[in-house]
Amino acid sequence: MAIADTLRFAPPHPAARPFLVAGAVLFLLGLLISHWLAWLAFVFILLCLFFFRDPDRVPPPRRDAMLAPADGRVLEVALARPPAELGLGDTARWRVATFLSIFDVHVNRIPVHGTVTRIAYRHGGFLNAANPEAGDRNERNAIAIRLADGREIAVVQIAGMIARRIVCSVREGDAVGAGERFGIIRFGSRTDLYLPEGGEPLVTEGQTMIGGETVVALLGTGAAG
């Protein structure tokens, strides 16, 4: 978690709007009915502002830099096959799994310049996102992005034990840039990043990631275009 993001106010992500509206309604009702309800609604609004905070990030200027898609702690750096629903083949590639606690910024960011080629949503369970089996068994939204050199990467939004809503704002065919926002996972989750074939990770397990800023791998100038 980026400490600076915790200590300073950042505007909330649009996904916070229904929660903030509900909190405001309860607050107004509390003023008329019970001050205890008003205080509870006020605390709820503050918690929503904290959880849905959406700070600006400054991606590094290198176009060949592959960036972290989320804030959080690296759970695992290991070889794994990408989600079958993306059609990226059975060859194992490096996967960097990041766990987002309820204290982390939950806005997801595009890791590299490219084009979205496929988005596949799959229903599943709600294991603790830190569970090694969560990537295979939990509800998830997988996104494939093609680089300029034709290689593809995958980013997977995975729901956690508390999370019950995955939001994705990009569509197949969209041209995307490194560091751009593309979605959010509500209330604790995990984000997996699959490097392109031949890519080598520069991060390690236990490392703290800053979405849109931490460099996960360098892809070479051919990949950036």
Cross-strand bridge partners of residue 189: 100, 159
Which letter does DSSP use for residue 191 in this model? E
CA–CA distance, 41 with 120 (Å, rounded to integer): 37
What integer pLDDT is reported at residue 64 of this predicted model?
A: 87
Give the domain extent around 31: 3-51
Query: Is 60 within a domain?
Result: no
What integer pLDDT is reported at residue 79 of this predicted model?
A: 95
- pLDDT 10s per residue in the chain (225 long)? 444 544 456 787 787 788 888 888 888 888 888 888 888 989 988 888 888 888 999 999 888 899 999 999 999 999 999 999 999 998 999 999 999 888 888 899 999 999 999 999 988 666 666 666 666 777 889 999 999 999 999 999 998 666 567 889 999 999 999 999 999 887 668 899 999 988 889 999 999 999 999 999 998 655 555
Q: By three-state DSSP, how is residue 140 classified?
A: strand
Q: Count structural domains, the chain.
A: 2
Q: Quick check: is 101 catalytic?
A: no
CA–CA distance, 95 with 84 (Å, rounded to integer): 14
Task: Answer yes or no: do 217 and 186 share one domain.
Answer: yes
CA–CA distance, 13 with 152 (Å, rounded to integer): 28
What integer pLDDT is reported at residue 134 of this predicted model?
A: 64
Task: Answer yes or no: do 34 and 115 share one domain.
Answer: no
CA–CA distance, 1 with 15 (Å, rounded to integer): 20
What integer pLDDT is reported at residue 116 of this predicted model?
A: 97
Task: Answer yes or no: do 128 and 178 share one domain.
Answer: yes
> If you search the block for the tokens 């008329």, which residue do you land on?
32
Task: Answer yes or no: do 83 and 192 share one domain.
Answer: yes
Task: Answer yes or no: do 120 and 212 share one domain.
Answer: yes
Residue tagged active-site, from 34, 101, 169, 189: 189
Task: Answer yes or no: do 130 and 103 share one domain.
Answer: yes
